[in-house]
């Protein structure tokens, strides 16, 4: 498994080496030793979740208040454009975003540190996204920023077909960053 650094400070991309043959493939999606060698505490990830969405669906941009949450994100079925925004005021990449294609062919796992906003859009007919987070989810800490916020100027590849009511009513980057809510 190769590990690469991303453009955004502290973000990692884990690139496994799938073994393919006539039966299909086998790949390791998490390796505690590799994670530890890159500064992550494998024991800190306490909760796994999965979502399924259809083509064009956009989820995000979501974050957590009161310390944020770190997460490992992968796409187990289909393909997504995964976008993260650095919402850590002390970070050299504060306010910048980066997109990553996650899919069921390359099997990359994205490490998103605490203090980031996270969202994705489904590129395939259906996508299953798996999250491993470092603290139990508490909905009272949920923070949302509009996916189409003009200050962030994120380019999404497809028209946005489906949004949750939470995402439709999300606040602006300017309001959230002025209050230093995430992380």
The span from the CA of 181 to the CA of 35, in Å, is: 28
Asked if 152 and 173 touch (Cβ cutoff 8 Å), the reply is yes
pLDDT at 164: 93
Give every residue of the chain whose pLDDT is below 70, as ranges: 180-183
Enumerate the active-site residues.
62, 131
- What is the residue extent of each domain of the chain? 2-18+39-179
pLDDT at 45: 93
pLDDT at 154: 97
pLDDT at 180: 65
Tokens describing residue 78:
């289909």
Asked if 77 and 128 touch (Cβ cutoff 8 Å), the reply is yes
The CATH class for the domain spanning 2-18+39-179 reads: mainly beta
Residue in this structure with the two tokens 């209050």, named with its chain if needed: 179
Tokens describing residue 41:
């505490």
- Per-residue HEC secondary structure of 138-180 comes to CHHHEEEECCCCCCCCCCCCCCCCCCCHHHHCCECHHHHHHHC
Question: Max CA-CA distance within the chain?
Answer: 54
Q: How far is CA 95 from the centre of its chain?
A: 16
Distances (CA, A) of 105 to 90, 100, 122: 36, 14, 15
Write the pLDDT tens digit of every residue in 66-106. 888 999 999 999 999 999 999 999 999 999 999 999 999 99
């Amino acid at each position: 498994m190769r590990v690469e650094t991303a453009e955004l400070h502290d973000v990692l991309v884990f690139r496994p080496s799938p073994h393919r043959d006539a039966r299909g493939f086998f790949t390791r999606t998490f390796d505690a030793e590799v994670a530890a060698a890159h500064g992550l505490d494998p024991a800190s990830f306490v909760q796994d979740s999965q979502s399924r969405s259809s083509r064009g669906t956009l989820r995000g941009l979501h974050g957590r208040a009161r310390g944020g949450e770190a997460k490992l994100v992968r796409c187990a079925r289909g393909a997504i454009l995964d976008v993260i925004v650095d919402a850590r005021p002390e970070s050299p990449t504060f306010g910048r975003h980066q997109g990553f294609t996650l899919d069921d062919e390359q099997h990359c796992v994205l490490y998103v540190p605490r203090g980031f906003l996270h969202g994705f859009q489904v590129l395939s007919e259906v996508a299953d996204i798996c999250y491993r987070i470092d603290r139990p989810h508490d909905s009272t800490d949920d923070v949302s920023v509009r996916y189409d916020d003009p200050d962030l100027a994120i380019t999404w590849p497809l028209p946005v077909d489906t949004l949750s009511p939470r995402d439709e009513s999300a606040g602006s980057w300017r309001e959230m960053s002025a209050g230093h809510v995430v992380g």
